[in-house]
Structure 1
Amino acid sequence: MIEGFVLPPEGWYNVPMPEAPRIAQPGDIFILLVPTTDDLAQLRQKHADLQAQFGGQLVEPIHITAERFSPENGHDPQDCIAPIRRNLSGIQPFPIEADGLIQFFAPYWQSQVLRWRVAETRIWNDFRDTLEDVLCDIGCPSHFIRRRYATCTILKLEGEIDPSALPQVDAMPLFWVRELWISLLKADGQFEIVEKLILKD
């Protein structure tokens, strides 16, 4: 039994994903939330337990994609990154919780994936609102639908899992956000970390 999990009741199914945004393209910029070393060991153990049960490939680095956008009218990515850095510099570290497991087909990766569903807590929604306002102010609106569930990477699967086999997850701490990474999707399909922001108490 994985800590934080309970057996699913009869007829329980994993939560469906809402309508998906367009597939990521070269030039897109991502704002990623990543766990620090203090949270990684326990999180990796949970992921290893899920891999032992369902197979697949562990996804590293573990992260949540909080936003995705692209510079307008061919502007340099730094035109977006600099004001993001200024506007987010005052945000303090905050906790992320998970309240479910989600599997779905990820078009960019061309595979089924298993992920944590991020719980819609007040502090998480406040952060998303702040991020959305910043992107609107700099003329780089989000590619994501606002009602979209945020997810945290776990596994790239080899095939679809029977939904009734997935453990049900009670609300549980996932990790504290103390770092934001800004990542750029390059023409060769690789992701480049172009900025790391440290959140300070």
Structure 2
Amino acid sequence: MRTSRLILLIVSVVVATVAMAGIGVVGLYRNFVRAHHHEPVAERPSWGDHWNLAVTFYPVTPLRPDEKGFANARCTTVGSILVQPGDPVPVRQLTCVDDGEVSTWFTEFADPADLKRYLDAHWVRDRTHETPSSTMALLRPSGPSTPYGLAAHPGLELRKQTVLLEASGDTFDRLYINWWMWSQIR
């Protein structure tokens, strides 16, 4: 009888130990293995080949397409680029529309000669604007056929530039005072 009680006690202790160990293993699994194992997360979208445009005109353009730029601008890449007859065809473009209904187009040309040819056909330099990292040339339309009100490009030497910002939604003076001065392009 004593032996059966001893065996029963030993079996009870073993069963309790195994049960406690099982609970411990389940707890470890839930707290460490399962908690640190995540489903793959989709990578956030990026500008890809349009990165140079986005970064050149930051913070008007956001650094990622799923973010917003200056004045809550929502930006997208342009798939099919249309140009006026005689204008050089750009390599790539971004376009944004902000809460103030200012539309901006960020264009990259293949080489500086294409940018110069485009500027000569549509724009006249009005003034320069100092930013913390560079000087921007500000341009006003050269005639009524120019569909934008204000343009800008980084630097003053066109032989090195291939990117251009164009904004529409108002006149040059109003865009300059109400939009450009607040945009804080770096």
TM-score (norm 2): 0.24
- Higher RCO structure (Cα 8 Å, ≥6 apart): 1
**More strand by proportion, 1 or 2?**
1
**More helix by proportion, 1 or 2?**
2
TM-score (norm 1): 0.23
Q: Which has the larger radius of gyration?
A: 2
